Amino acid sequence: MKNLERAKLDAYDRIKQFNLKHATDLATITDYAGEQAKFNNFLAALILAANIQQDDTSGNAPTSISAKTNMAKTVIKFAKRGAVKAKINGNTVLASELDQPITFITKATKTEAVQRATELRNTMNANLTTLTTITAANITQIDTTIAAYDGVKDNPTIAKQVKKANGTNVLAPNYELIDAAVENMFDLAYSYFEDTKPTLVDEFTLAKQILNTGIRHTSVDVTVADEFGNVITKSTVKDVKNGKVYSADDEGIVTIQKHKAGHFHFTISAAGYVDIDLGVDVKQGMSNDFSVKMKKSA
């Protein structure tokens, strides 16, 4: 959750405290209880969505990367050991199959990495009588690392999708619903107490001013991935109009905290990939979320 969104939540809390402080007076206003119930319900839904958006307990990208690296190191270590034994035994074809760099696995996509690791594992397992420096226990060790990576490789993508669907995408609509309830509560309080309890009305007015001053914002988030859905962390987004360049975080998300509304073009770049021109309509007062999939360059 961005700082401006946190500020908005703080302002809502101020109105919630106002309702508690003046509960006796507000209870005398027709229809106020209904609008207050809407406000409370929408605010609870908003806080839940914000917590989901911020949740960082599952789908950890560094964990997935670590598991992939561990799998690659383990498989390639034994594959190279086997390649040497195959050369010694004069089996150049087998040696060629096994003699692979670690990037053969680490640079592959998620599914392809598992497939390559498994293929090398199967080749070694099928030739244990020839590759006498590799044991069945080594194959089991390889199986463990493959299973470990296969079990977490999709977590970052899945977690991000859940956070987007149940968190990010829910925030903007709830802001609108809460703001509508706040306007109704204020208009009711004003219509009943503007003459008899001006201090109460002034307090609500101040709360509304704090809510509306510098809190409504327009931001842009661009999620950058390859054509297989793997996030690209070393990517950039250039705002074509002003030339500013923004970098992706470790989840492949490029965030522009404040942006003007209107139609804009962005250039998405990453080493080894074809640049993308993204033309989008940026809506005022919202968190504008976009995603792109980049193709490998020739």
Give the mean pLDDT per block of 10 residues along the chain (298 residues).
60 87 94 91 72 47 75 94 94 94 87 93 95 93 90 60 44 74 92 92 82 61 88 91 90 84 93 94 78 89
Tell me how far the alpha carbon of residue 68 is from its chain's centroid: 20
List, in order, residues 6 or more apart from 94 with CB less than 8 Å away. 82, 83, 86, 123, 127, 130, 131
- The reported pLDDT for the residue numbered 92 is 93
Name the amino acid, one letter, at 85: K
14 and 74 fall within a common domain: yes
Q: What is the CATH number of the domain that holds 242?
A: 2.60.40.1120
184 and 230 fall within a common domain: no
Sign of the CA dihedral running 214, 216, 220, 221: positive
82 and 1 fall within a common domain: yes
114 and 10 fall within a common domain: yes
146 and 211 fall within a common domain: yes
- The reported pLDDT for the residue numbered 19 is 92
236's tokens:
């950039």
Tell me how far the alpha carbon of residue 174 is from its chain's centroid: 20
Strand partners, 273: 296
Give the DSSP H or E segment for 286. Answer: none
203 and 249 fall within a common domain: no
- Of 216, 238, 258, which closes a domain? 216
200 and 223 fall within a common domain: no
Which segments within the chain are labelled E, that is strand?
A: 219-226, 235-239, 245-247, 253-256, 262-270, 276-282, 287-294
The helix, strand and coil proportions of the chain, stated in percent and rounded to the nearest 5, come to 60, 15, 25
Structural domain for 245, as ranges:
217-298
253 and 191 fall within a common domain: no
164 and 298 fall within a common domain: no
- Of 190, 216, 242, which closes a domain? 216
Return the number of other C-beta atoms located less than 10 Å from residue 64's C-beta.
21
- The reported pLDDT for the residue numbered 171 is 54
CA distance 21 to 29: 15
- The reported pLDDT for the residue numbered 173 is 66
**Total domain count for the chain?**
2
- Of 216, 246, 269, which closes a domain? 216
- The reported pLDDT for the residue numbered 63 is 63
CA angle 132, 125, 118 (to 5 degrees): 135
List, in order, residues 6 or more apart from 267 with CB less than 8 Å away. 237, 238, 240, 275, 276, 277, 278
42 and 142 fall within a common domain: yes
What values do phi and psi take at 198, rounded to 5? -65, -30
135 and 164 fall within a common domain: yes
Nearest to 172 by CA among 54, 281, 49, 256: 49
163 and 289 fall within a common domain: no
